[in-house]
Amino acid sequence: VEIVLGPHEYGKAETRLVRVDRDGDRHELHDLTVSVALRGDLAAAHLTGDNSAILPTDSQKNTIYAFAGRYGVGRMEPFGLRLARHFVDSQPTISAARVHLVEHPWTRLGPHSFAGAGQENRTAVVTYDGVRATVVAGLTGLVLLNSTDSEFTGFIEDPYTTLAPTTDRILATAVTARWRLGEVPDWSDADWADSYQGVRAALVDGFVQTYSLSLQQTLYAMGERVLSRHPEVVELRLSLPNRHHLPVDLTPFGDDNRGEVFVATDRPYGLIEGTVARPEAAEPGLAWW
């Protein structure tokens, strides 16, 4: 039987890094989970167990900590790019690297005191192939809810349709968004923060300010605002689970439910996924690896 080794990669996943920047008594906190994936000349490892092309995943982890100490962390994207470039540039056997970063947010309570700021995380994926670098910024766990101004009518009614059209429902979702930058900007930390906060605000505005006829429409409205406001973004991918809130029938108990009492369900859920992009956006290369 003839067999070929197809696409393959490896790396250290979910390295937990906390970096404290100490400027006297005033501290800054960076709390990241970093995952590395490498591609390259790895066939011998698979076929014969020859590891001479393998940089151990343990060394990758060490590099994350060493770079965090030596260069600091700052914004995730430049930190990830430094790592990706290092693995490719320092190892002849490694042809491409992806660094996936998640930033866990904290809010300041004092000069060196912080409170965890919840389940909404900022994300970044940077890639480098020896020539070109790409950056995809993002966020997960942004939970949004409109308690009115949401309809769902005019849909197909097939023999399996029992859903009643509604002109007033709760619309809720937990946003996962990833946006590709057209090229890697030469930004300060403040620029990176501004761009992120701006995109996040555009997503929130798109959700809040849209009178929704469907979650699909809301998705597009969110994406449209991001691309309109942020020229640095050339493509945006959104994954929006529809967190259903079903009105409870109170008539058995002699009451009406005027859009006031809902069951928040876990499963199943609708899942709406879509992309908005500039027509002239350059090829993504490894951006979506």
229-258: contacts with a copy of itself (CB under 8 A): 235, 237, 241-242, 245, 248, 250, 252-253, 255, 257-258
Nearer to a copy of itself by Cβ, of 192 and 289: the residue is 289
Nearer to a copy of itself by Cβ, of 197 and 275: the residue is 275
Residue 155 binding a copy of itself, by CB under 8 A: yes
Catalytic residues, which ones? 12, 57, 244
Nearer to a copy of itself by Cβ, of 65 and 186: the residue is 65
Compose the 19-58 pattern: x for residues touching a copy of itself by CB under 8 A, - for all others.
xxxx--x-x-x-x-x-x-x----x--xxxxxxxxxxxxxx
Cβ(198)–Cβ(253) under 8 Å? no
Residue 198: which of 218, 216, 172, 177 has the closest Cα? 177
Tokens standing for residue 8: 């393959």
φ, ψ dihedrals at 95, nearest 5°: -100, -20
Mutual orientation of helices 189-209 and 76-90 as an angle, nearest 10°? 120
Length of the chain: 289
Indicate the burial class of 285 (C-beta count within 10 angstroms; 0-12, 13-18, 19 or more). middle
Q: How far apart are CA 242 and CA 233, in angstroms?
A: 25
Name residues contacting a copy of itself, limited to 128-147 (CB under 8 A): 141-147
- Cα-trace Rg, the chain: 23
Smallest distance, a copy of itself to C-beta of residue 133, A:
21
Q: How far apart are CA 161 and CA 147, in angstroms?
A: 25
Smallest distance, a copy of itself to C-beta of residue 194, A:
19
Q: Is the bond leading into 268 cis (omega within 30 degrees of zero)?
A: yes
Name residues contacting a copy of itself, limited to 182-211 (CB under 8 A): 204, 207-208
Interface residue with a copy of itself among 89, 115, 130, 167 (CB under 8 A) is: 115
Nearer to a copy of itself by Cβ, of 132 and 216: the residue is 216
Placement of tokens 């970093």 in the chain: 34
Residue 288 binding a copy of itself, by CB under 8 A: no
Nearer to a copy of itself by Cβ, of 194 and 261: the residue is 261
Instruction: Name the one range near a copy of itself by CB under 8 A: 18-26, 123-131, 132-140, 182-190.
Output: 18-26
